Chains A and B, each alone.
Chain A
Amino acid sequence: MKVLMTEYLRIDLDTEHWECRVCNHDIGPATHSYKEGTLVHNRDPREIHPPILDPEKYRFTFSPDPEWVRILEYYCPHCGTMVETEYAIPGHPPLYDMEPDLPALKAQWAAREEIKDPVVGPAVVADQGHKH
């Protein structure tokens, strides 16, 4: 059975591995951070959040300060999908952001049907209120 953990990652409970949901690539053991199986790019935040004010004229420009923060982009090494971003202080070790308890996860899903498509949850729709 496979559990859909994020928009781009799932865990195969049998192999206990992270997998890419876009290309099925085996990212690595789910006993470790999925990040260990990704490619990382240290992005200058000004490339994503462009300066709106002229950086030649002003100290603050609407762009993050690249000496204060960087964007770590984590890519699937096979298909290049960006599975996660992390706004990080320069030099701060990447976070082990998702550390599932695999035996508990297996026990929980033993009582559930496998879900192939993610459950998106209810939408807020107008005029769905209480009526009588």
Chain B
Amino acid sequence: MSEMNTPVAAKMPSTEEIALIKKFLSDTTLFLGPDPEIMQNHDLMPRTEDEERAVGKVSDAHIIAKIRDRIQSGCDEGYEMVEQMGAAPGAKWGDVITGVYSASGDLAIASAGGVLIFSALVHHPIKFIIKNWMNDPTVGVREGDGFIHNDSRYGNVHNTDQSMIVPIFHEGKLLCWVASTVHEGENGAIEPGGMPSMAESPSDEGLKMSPFKVVENYQIKRDILTFLQNSVREPKLQYEDMKVKLFACLRIKQRIEETLKTDGPEALVSTLRLTMENVRAEVKRRVSQWPDMTVRTYIIQDSTLRENCVVKINCKLTKTGDRLIFDFRGSSPEFTNRATNTIVAGLKGMLAQVFLCYVWPDLPRGQAAFAPIEVITDPHSIVNCSYDAPNSQSLMSIFTGFTAGQHAVAKFLYSCPEKYTKVHAPTFNMINTFIWGGVSQHGETLGNLCADLNGMGAGATVDRDGEHALAPIFATMADIGEQELNEEEVPFLQLVSKKMTRDAIAPGKYRGGQGYTMMVATKDSEQWGFMTTAQGAKIPPIQGLFGGYACGCYPLSKVKGVDVYDVLMNEPHKFKHSIEELMNERPFDGASYTTHHMGMGFEISKRGELFMISQGAGAGYGDLLERDPAGVIKDIEEGLISPGVAERLYKVKFDPATLSINHEATAAARDEERRARVARGVPFKDFVKTWNKPKPPAHLQYFGCWGDDVGTLYVGSPDITRDANVPKPNYMRHPKDVRIEELEARLAQLGALAEEKQ
């Protein structure tokens, strides 16, 4: 044994030595990666001396409210500018936010519309700039500077989103920051559109901009701009939107300067600080009105976008006094070579959306609304992934995490007398849309998506049906856009668009809002393709509420070996306007008809081939036997549900020709169904004896905890587990290798591989 193993009394370094060690580490840092101290903290920074002094000088509630409204208007003005002038489809349809941040980097006031998840994320890169560049002689932060950022690991949803960050000075002193963030789309990743599902490492995810200076003296530096343009598929968009974001920031700066002239810097600083502190305090007060309780739920992802498997998002929400704690331990471990992981800040951002959009929409938009709420996860989890894990499809995990939060929160809100919205069943949560890319009919290289991802069906509420195709969960005031406008720039048509998908339902006393069908076919380019990135083709990605059902499943359908434009020209009667008819009737001779899960990697499409999907339905609320029969008939009339399905599920009796309701027969049928339930239902204690299993089923690749044991995570098999606190790699095999192996095994069984050398 060597002396090295002999325990010695640890010597505590002196203050001088600690300072020396810190200086040594600071001077010799080789790489300024994402800083855990910044990235793991979503609470407000402590009051600075300047803020303390400003609050001491100006704290009149009326003055604060006046300035806050003025700054809010400035943010909304900046938002409008980006929305109107931005080149990215995301900008045009509201996937944008602008905001004013405190000198310490906290988002104090954000634009009212747009993607509020950004409100919980962009403070991270600003804090990185403050910590690392402010005092660095090679960088510095000066008046006229602007910083760009997109790498999610430094604080973002995914690398499609780019921010422009501008420091605001007053008489030479940094007063606050303004920033504008847009879902730009294209970023030079291995697939067009910026959200590659094929990414197997961060190196596949395109541009990875840590926060850096790209603007000096309010001018974009052309050399850096050219490098960025050269790194993406849409150089024109990259330039245009950098300018748009910069000018939006400058407009907000102008509004701030006007406020400084009329009210002075202390009034502004105090407004920013008190807005955040007051919102934070109000959130804690509101939480205290909820019942003290623990609510458990889980949401299942049924794929990694590369293969179907079962990926658990486990959520325990506990409220005690004025504390609210989201515990996501037990969720799936991160995938080392799949893109569906998220950094924990992304998850927190989406949870902030639950509150800002669905629970307390009256609160001023900003970081403070989620600041006091706590979040716990396992290390290297799918909802708190490591630096080395790809996360370009983090939407899969932040959206299912959102739904877990929305589902759990509803169970707290029902009994709370103080409400700011109605109790709400989960809204649909997947981006069922087409991402596209290639060379357009105008010869331009493009890569982006259809804004139909914004058409998620809303969940039903306590007293009414969910609205159809209402809004995305990440931006409740976004639009689904005008497809016809898009078609002027892209070489494909949506041959069927905005038509509700019949029988893709979420039944309940109040049914969920439904989703619509999209059929696309390329027309004027030989270099064009599509991808889809959604889960939920085998397992619904949401839960119902209080006896309501979730939505069903949503696959991708393809029809190949046909030019549908020729069909429309020569045999138009053969074209059908629903996926149901086209796929079941197979009207095109010689064509192939196939179905797939919704994780289609980028695929080149030939002219006239059909790719068909549907947006999804929000969840239903309450027992479907309590649904007003007139509501069921209205659904039939509106083509949401077929008469046979309506009668079978809702037990409504009506005349098939006139749809007139037989109320007596309906009441009798519903009574009979209630009796049938009592007859077929099994007492819980007997049910669990046969239902409960000690491990996940062997026929499923299962990831996450099983039951209440959150300390043990299953990793793809009932026989492979790991300690939740001990991270390990979690590699998936290439789906084509798996398929080839299956087919080779069959060939071997038939003796067809006997001659092949190994």
A82 to B623, CA, bound (A): 5
CB proximity to A under 8 Å, residues B663-699: 673-678, 680-685, 687-688, 691-693, 695-697, 699
A84-B678 Cα distance, complex, nearest whole Å: 14
- The yes or no answer to B498 lying at the interface (CB within 8 A) is no
Do B291 and A108 have beta carbons less than 8 Å apart? yes
Query: Given A52-B579, A60-B555, do A69 and B699 touch, yes or no (CB 8 Å)?
Result: no
Given contacts A7-B547, A97-B411, contact A68 B677 (CB under 8 A): no
Chain B, interface size: which category? Answer: 35 or more
B552-593: CB near A (< 8 Å → 1, else 0) gives 111111000000000000000000000110011000000001
Decide yes or no: A62 and B503 within 8 Å by CB, A53-B579, A95-B296, A104-B291 being known contacts: yes
Flag if A48 contacts B579 (CB, 8 Å).
Answer: no
- Cβ of B595 within 8 Å of any chain A Cβ, yes or no, is yes
Q: Establish whether residues B623 and A93, one from each chain, have CB atoms under 8 Å apart when the complex forms.
A: no
A125 to B379, CA, bound (A): 44
Chain A residues with CB under 8 A of B294: 98-99
User: Which label, helix, strand, loop or mixed, suits the secondary structure of the A interface?
Assistant: loop
Asked whether A101 and B320 contact (CB < 8 A) given A42-B691, A122-B421, the answer is yes
Known A60-B537, A69-B540: A89·B300 in contact at CB below 8 Å: yes
Interchain CA distance A38-B680 in the complex, whole Å? 12
A91, B696: Cβ atoms closer than 8 Å: yes
* Contact, CB under 8 Å: B549 / A97: no
Which among B412-420, B444-452, B481-489 touches the partner chain? B412-420
Q: Contacts A49-B505, A49-B552: A80 and B462 contacting too (C-beta < 8 A)?
A: no
Residue B465 CB within 8 A of the other chain: no
B674 and A81 form a contact (CB under 8 A): yes
Residue B548 is within 8 A (CB to CB) of chain A in the complex: yes
Task: Determine if A59 is an interface residue (Cβ-Cβ < 8 Å).
Answer: yes
On chain A, the residues within 8 Å of B692 by CB distance are 91, 93-94
User: Which of B143-151, B233-241, B521-529, B702-710 is found at the contact surface with chain A?
Assistant: B702-710
Kindly list chain A residues whose C-beta atoms are within 8 Å of the C-beta of B504: 49, 52, 62
Whether A108 contacts B292 in the complex (CB less than 8 A), given A48-B549, A50-B645, comes out as yes
Cβ contacts under 8 Å, B552 to chain A: 45, 48-50, 62-64
A82 touches B625 (CB 8 A): yes
Query: For the complex, what is the distance from the CA of A2 to the CA of B434, rounded to whole Å?
Result: 50
Closest to B676 in A: A80
B585 to chain A, nearest CB (A): 10
Tell me if A15 is interfacial: C-beta within 8 Å of chain B: no
Residue among A49, A54, A73, A115 with max Cβ neighbours from chain B (10 Å): A49
CA distance A58 to B595 in the complex (A): 6
Q: Are B292 and A77 closer than 8 Å at their CB atoms?
A: no
Residues of A contacting B544 with CB < 8 Å?
85, 87
* Chain A residues positioned under 8 Å from B297 (CB to CB): 95, 97
Contact, CB under 8 Å: B415 / A99: no
Residue contact A40 to B462, C-beta cutoff 8 Å: no
Interface 0/1 of A108-132, CB less than 8 Å to B: 1000100100111111000000000
Given contacts A104-B292, A115-B417, contact A37 B684 (CB under 8 A): yes
- Given A69-B540, A93-B692, A5 and B414 contact (CB-CB distance below 8 Å): yes
- Contact between B503 and A96 (Cβ–Cβ < 8 Å)? no
User: With A6-B411, A7-B621, A40-B687 known to touch, is A121 a contact of B420 (CB < 8 Å)?
Assistant: yes
Interfacial chain B residues near A42, Cβ < 8 Å: 687, 691
A121 touches B423 (CB 8 A): yes
For B414, B415, B503, B673, the residue with the greatest tally of chain A CB atoms inside 10 Å of its CB is B415
Contact of B415 among A3, A39, A77, A89 (CB under 8 A): A3
A63 adjacent to B553 (CB under 8 Å)? yes
Bound: A91/B699 CA distance, A: 12
Q: Measured between C-beta atoms, what is the minimum distance from B199 to chain A in Å?
A: 24
Asked if residues B597 and A60 are in contact (CB atoms below 8 Å), the reply is: yes
Residues of A within 8 A of B502 (CB): 52
- Complex: chain A residue closest to B502, CB-CB: A52
B159 to nearest A CB, angstroms? 30
From B422, B546, B675, A8 is in contact (CB under 8 Å) with B546
Using known A-B contacts A40-B681, A97-B296, A121-B462, determine if residue A64 contacts B420 with beta carbons closer than 8 Å: no
- Residue contact A93 to B688, C-beta cutoff 8 Å: yes
Q: Which residues of A contact B423 (CB under 8 A)?
A: 120-121
Chain A 40-79: CB-based contact to B (< 8 A → 1; otherwise 0): 1110010011101110011111111101110101110111
Q: Is the CB of B583 within 8 A of A58?
A: yes
The residue that A98 contacts in the complex, of B298, B411, B614, B691, with Cβ under 8 A, is B411
Which residues of the partner chain A approach B673 to less than 8 Å between Cβ atoms? 80
**In contact, A87 and B550 (Cβ under 8 angstroms):** yes
Contacts of A83 in B (CB 8 A): 546-547, 623
- Which residues does chain A contribute within 8 Å of B553, judged by CB atoms? 49, 60-65
* Contact call A101/B584, Cβ cutoff below 8 A: no
Q: What is the interface of chain A, defined by CB distance below 8 A to chain B? A: 3-8, 35-42, 45, 48-50, 52-54, 57-65, 67-69, 71, 73-75, 77-87, 89-101, 104-105, 108, 112, 115, 118-123
**Minimum-distance CB pairs A-B, first 3:** A39-B681, A49-B552, A91-B693
- Sample (24) of A-B pairs whose CB atoms are under 8 Å apart: A7-B414, A35-B684, A39-B682, A40-B687, A41-B680, A42-B691, A49-B553, A52-B504, A58-B594, A60-B555, A60-B597, A62-B555, A68-B700, A69-B540, A71-B549, A86-B543, A87-B300, A87-B539, A92-B696, A93-B688, A104-B320, A118-B414, A120-B419, A122-B421
Listed in ascending order, the chain B residues whose CB lies under 8 Å from chain A are 291-298, 300, 302, 310, 312, 320, 411, 414-417, 419-423, 462-463, 501-505, 507, 509, 537-540, 543-544, 546-557, 579-580, 583-584, 593-597, 614, 621-625, 645, 649, 673-678, 680-685, 687-688, 691-693, 695-697, 699-700, 702, 706-708
